[in-house]
Amino acid sequence: MTDQLRIALAQLNPKVGDLPGNLALARKALDDAKSAKADILMLSELFLTGYFPDDLLFKPQFVKDAIAAARALVADTAGTDVVLILPTIWIDVTGMHNAVLVAEHGEITAIRYKRELPNSDVFYEKRYFEAGPLPLPVTIKGVSVGIPICEDVWHTAVCEHLAMRGAEIMLCPNGSPYWTNKQHIRKDLVRARVAEDGVPMLYLNQVGGQDELVFDGASFAMQPGDKLVMQGKSFEPDFIVTDWTRTDAGWTCDNGRIEELTSVEEAPWRACVLGLRDYVLKNGFSHVVLGLSGGIDSAVVAAMAADAFGPEKVHAIMLPYRYTSEASIRDARECADRLGVRYDVVAIGDPVDGALNQLQPIFGNRPIDTAEENIQSRMRGTILMAVSNKLGSMLLTTGNKSEMGVGYATIYGDMNGGYNPLKDMFKMDVYALAAWRNQNMPGDCLGRAGEVIPQAIIDKAPSAELRPDQTDQDSLPPYPVLDDILTCIVEDEMALADIVARGHDAALVKRIERLLNIAEYKRRQSAPGPKITPRAFGQGRKYPITNGYRDGTVG
């Protein structure tokens, strides 16, 4: 039995499916733990496969290779005094499990299974895993250690059981994605477990972007008495070493490093930048292209891209037509200059007019409507895709959640692209982020400081500029009104009558619900983007395209 423990937490950025790459990250962490003379090294949930591997888990060879990688890492603990806590998939006679291996001196000394399998929101672990029994503590260096896995701490039973069976300290590996206020929600959760069980907990979270999920890291430790004794970095990899001493009151942390948690205002920007950076780089691209219209959405995406990759890796293209205002052309150029990104102009007048001339025999004398307007957007999308193909840049699309909610976007046009950093961000939130970025330089970002988004772009009335003097409010209610209605329907699943009771016009509420429903087919075909809210389109909100239900609470 020891009265001293040095515990290392590896807050790293694995890539789903990259077994050799993740194994290399884990081996580097093991070397770092040796150098730090750590007693214990913990990796995050399902580290070697990455979280979450989805239907790769139905591929027998992948499962076989993942288990082989785990055994190889276990073997690497030979010749060291570091005890490795390795979260991985594992198979026994009952099936496949989300598991933790405890390894020491090259051997597996204990195996524990996740008890509580999440099966809501973005999680569907019951599709793949069998739930384990209530776990027992593991003895490490003579200390009784509980290892609840992620969701296990969101329910009282597992930690309570571990404490009752003698666990003196809890080590919790996680794959917990970010959304608004999630960092504080986790803290409140762990605070409750520590208060209930009287046992300190070290909470390790992974970091990085994985398709539409962003993992923010922000690992931490709490001990009884509501004491935050360690706080890791947010949205960045971190290697955190803490020393713990057994006292009459239990285990206490001697030297926890406390990093400042990202603010509620900064966190969405950091999440979007990290999600964008990892999606592009992990999929083999090194630079991006986007249409820069002189509007707020494309300006914010361009700023995020510059922060993610550096200005030299961002290519902005203005694609004017006869309805594009001089102000938009001027604002787009100024934005590109402030960001320091490459800027080109490709006029679309000739190709659009040529398409309209060729279509005239089919269109005939029918009145001009959105069909002609959409040709402009689709021509822009075609040109941007051509640049993407020729130069090898990933095309970014720039529609926000308000527009995507009501279908105010042209499929196969401005929706073209491989990734959309604003997909889960309402229009008014985009404005707020633009103002915030102009006043702040986010951590771990590569763009320029200062007012990178011209104030003229923030101040102007939003417009698609597909016809003379057009504004968004010709077709939509003011964005503060639209955002509130959409928040009520999408985020809160409120009945229409309750939304009307908030002061909204009944006919407008019904119209927005209709637009939301009929735009589902567009959202299914939209680019992925980072999940920022609890109810993101795609990852957090799955509705049928063919859907006959309509809320009848408003006549």
Binding residues for L-glutamine: 176, 182
Q: In the annotation, is 335 catalytic?
A: no
Residues of the binding site for ATP: 291-298, 398
Cβ 202 vs Cβ 171: under 8 Å = yes
**C-alpha distance from residue 317 to each of 75, 277, 541 (Å):** 52, 20, 33
Q: Which residue in 15, 104, 114, 510 is the catalytic one?
A: 114
Task: Return the axis-axis angle of helices 370-391 and 349-363, rounded to nearest 10°.
Answer: 140
Instruction: Name beta bridge partners: 158.
Output: none
* DSSP 8-state symbol, 126: G
Q: What are 46's two structure tokens?
A: 């399902």
For the beta carbon of residue 473, count every other beta carbon within 10 angstroms: 14
| CA atoms of 12 and 14, how far apart (whole Å) | 6
Residues of the binding site: 176, 182, 291-298, 374, 398, 403, 522
| CA atoms of 430 and 477, how far apart (whole Å) | 17
Task: Return the axis-axis angle of helices 427-439 and 296-309, rounded to nearest 10°.
Answer: 50
String of b and e for 53-88 (b: at least 16 CB within 10 Å)?
A: beebbeeeebbebbbebbeebbebbeebebbbbbbb
Backbone angles phi, psi at 41, to 5 degrees: -120, 130
Q: Which of 503, 482, 499 is nearest to 430 (CA)?
A: 482
Q: What are 79's two structure tokens?
A: 């010749």
Q: Which residue in 15, 45, 212, 465 is the catalytic one?
A: 45
Q: Which residue in 116, 150, 168, 531 is the catalytic one?
A: 150
Q: In the annotation, is 312 catalytic?
A: no
Contacts of 358 (CB under 8 A, 6+ apart): none
String of b and e for 161-194 (b: at least 16 CB within 10 Å)?
A: bbbeeebbbbbbbbbbbbbbebbeebbeebeebb
For the beta carbon of residue 494, count every other beta carbon within 10 angstroms: 19
**C-alpha distance from residue 491 to each of 75, 423, 456, 488 (Å):** 47, 14, 31, 6
Residues of the binding site for deamido-NAD(+): 374, 403, 522
Q: In the annotation, is 187 catalytic?
A: no
Is the alpha carbon torsion for 94, 153, 5, 12 positive or negative?
A: positive
Instruction: Return the active site residues.
Output: 45, 114, 150
